[in-house]
Amino acid sequence: MTRQPILAGNWKMHLTKRKASALARDVAATQGMATGRECMVFPTFVHLDHVRRNLKGSNVKLGAQNCWPKKEGAFTGEISPYMLRDMGVDVLLIGHSERRHLMSESDALIVEKVKLGLKAKLEVMLCVGETLEEREANLTFEVLARQLKALKVVKPIYFDKISVAYEPVWAIGTGLTAAPETAQKAHQECRRVIGGVLGPEVAGSIRILYGGSVKPDNVSALLSQPDVDGALVGGASLTIEQFGPILQAAPSA
């Protein structure tokens, strides 16, 4: 089954309003109206509207890095997925390792975010991945299975709104990257687990991205793996000089 690759830039807590707007324009110009791949950017909340305006007219999707799993209420400092949709957001990034390990987000909280994000009619990209300690203890597949259980709440009407990003925690921002064969094994296992949760047809169609120190010089080797359907890019997505070649490295669907 052919799966259209996704190239996504997670800008994390970086850039000023001016730089985020300029980068959005550059990404839109580089992506153009290209077919055969999808492009997404995830700026910080305060830059969402500025980035949205500078993506106008392109087919680049606007993403948000997080949400709170309530429609509204007394949750000071939090953002509802319904508010994000109202801002023009297309995609939610849920369960990023920095949320899990720095902000102590539990699997149960992540499940609620996935559920409400989909109910708010947003696409959801669920992040999963193991720490170095878990990998060294041969717990990678066990961790992935536990984290992917969040997909149990996904109803059939939302199956085409879900993607997964495999991000080994030990490779995020460290300069270390999983070897293409290592990434393939993890992606293959994710697909096997998804088949058990949502069925083989969904497992065959869902897109699973690799994230973790993706750069122009390693993205093609990663994308060449049969179960790697794109890349979630961190630091290298912050300049068009690095993100541009990554966007153009995506194979045609």
Residue 168 DSSP code = -
Residue of 47, 98, 167, 187 marked catalytic: 167
Of the candidates 67, 159, 146, the one whose C-alpha atom is nearest the C-alpha of residue 112 is: 67
DSSP 122-161: -EEEEEE---HHHHHTT-HHHHHHHHHGGGGG--GGGGGG
Amino acid identity, residue 17? K
Decide if 96 is catalytic.
yes
Residue of 96, 123, 130, 187 marked catalytic: 96
Cα(68)–Cα(119) distance, integer angstroms:
13
Q: Which residue's structure tokens are 């949502």?
A: 198
Q: Which residue's structure tokens are 């791949």?
A: 37
Those residues whose C-beta lies under 8 Å from the C-beta of residue 3, and which sit 6 or more positions away, are 205, 206, 207, 229, 253
Report, in angstroms and rounded to the nearest whole number, the Rg of the chain calculated over CA atoms: 17
Q: Count the neighbouring beta carbons within 10 Å of the beta carbon of residue 253.
A: 12
Decide if 167 is catalytic.
yes
Q: Count the neighbouring beta carbons within 10 Å of the beta carbon of residue 74.
A: 6
Helix, strand, coil shares, percent, the chain, to 5: 50, 15, 35
- Active-site residue numbers? 96, 167
